[in-house]
Amino acid sequence: MGNAKLTFSETVRATIDNKTKPVGSLGVIESLAAQIAHVQQSLTPRAETCILTIFAGDHGMAAAGVSAFPSEVTQQMVLNFLSEGAAANVFANSVGADVQVVDAGVMGAPIEHPALIQKRVAPGTANAIVEPAMTTDQLEAALASGEEIGRALTCDVACFGEMGIGNTSAASLISAKVLGLPIETLIGRGTGLDDAGLARKSDLLAQAAQRTPGELDAKTALTEYGGFEIAMMCGAMLGASDTGRIIIIDGFIASAAALCALKIRPACAQNFIYGHCSAEAGHRRVLDAIGAAPLLDLELRLGEGTGALLAWPLVKAAAAMLRDMASFESAGVSGPG
């Protein structure tokens, strides 16, 4: 019998196994390399450039007391990002990534800054505890703007982060409704609520969850409970996937956006790499539901794309391994007997 032609998957596996190392000895790095090869359809993949896009938006429910911080902090942090003073900026500089910031729906007057990408849908959402967070037209506008941003990226690897006081509450509600889980299993301390604050948040989110059926499709969940930054990030993940980008998913809020993107367009799953598991209560549940294996577990709970940035060097190294590491033949090294 003649040798059957190898599939691309088999060729990738054989190429990795023929590197100068014992088979399987690089563990998760080998799996990452194979995933990147499939996304780029190349045995010499590249993950040399990275852009972090931070989407900012405010939430009407923040005024009810679901966060330890007031909504004004969202705009203040946008200015901090633009001044390169935030953790995301510091981490990006340390790993050689670029940062861009998008106003998806920050409260107050529009922020005037030449580096800010202005895509504001409205100055914050409605109070999702008592009414839908946004209209269907607003949702579609946010998704479309996100897709445009995602498609316009020129980097090998895309990281997406967010800023929005109240957005762990939105992520909890979205995730609970899309997955059909009880809301209480997805509620955490967010920006650092004390016990009394956590109890108040839990009561408010239970009230919000009771407004709608136990399970919703992704677009309805985003309309009822989302933030403009979450919806726009979801759209950006779809756009970046369509153009063959590798996407590193950040923490709880980004994973809620990714969950919605997967429900809207399941094919984007192959592009998603899950950077870390955060300390926020609902994140592990969402990752488990997606079937995701996060690369890191550093007890982060900041957002901003920080965890995705810290995972990027692993992704970069995995691509470099497949692209640049010698084979047994090329190195003149004896393979296993």
Q: Is 304 a catalytic residue?
A: yes
Burial of residue 13, with CB atoms counted within 10 A of its CB: 0-12 exposed, 13-18 middle, 19 or more buried: middle
Active-site option among 224, 229, 280, 304: 304
Burial of residue 244, with CB atoms counted within 10 A of its CB: 0-12 exposed, 13-18 middle, 19 or more buried: exposed
Contact present, 147 and 239 (Cβ < 8 Å)? yes
Contact present, 52 and 160 (Cβ < 8 Å)? yes
Q: Which residues are catalytic?
A: 304
